[in-house]
């Protein structure tokens, strides 16, 4: 069940980036689009923070996401990022 939720979340978060990239061939100049979302929690079970953001600009595209969680058993987390730049010619 957790894997299904992750697949749905990744699909929902990357869709704006893919749609934004599709229009870049016709309109690179002046293009600037971004998306960001963050969340944090602190309670009796532990504390954590998560963030995801995507940027499409005349220089290229990038996407990053991360999460960090701390509780009685320790600290864990993950990070992923990707990007591409346009060759100016």
Give per-residue pLDDT as tens, 12-41: 545 455 455 555 444 556 789 999 999 999
> Is the predicted pLDDT of residue 43 greater than 80, yes or no?
yes
The C-alpha atoms of residue 67 and residue 26 are separated, in whole angstroms, by 35
Angle at the Cα of 8 from the Cα atoms of 79 and 34, rounded to 5 degrees: 60
d(CA 15, CA 19): 6
CA distance 62 to 17: 9
């Amino acid at each position: 069940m957790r894997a299904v939720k992750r697949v749905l979340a990744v699909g929902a978060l990357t869709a704006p980036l893919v749609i934004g990239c599709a229009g870049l061939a016709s309109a690179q100049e002046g293009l600037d689009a971004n998306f960001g979302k963050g969340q944090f929690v602190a309670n009796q079970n532990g504390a954590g923070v998560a963030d995801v953001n995507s940027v499409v600009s005349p220089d290229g595209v990038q996407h990053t996401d991360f999460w960090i969680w701390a509780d009685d058993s320790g600290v864990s987390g993950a990070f992923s990022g990707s990007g591409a730049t346009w060759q100016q010619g």
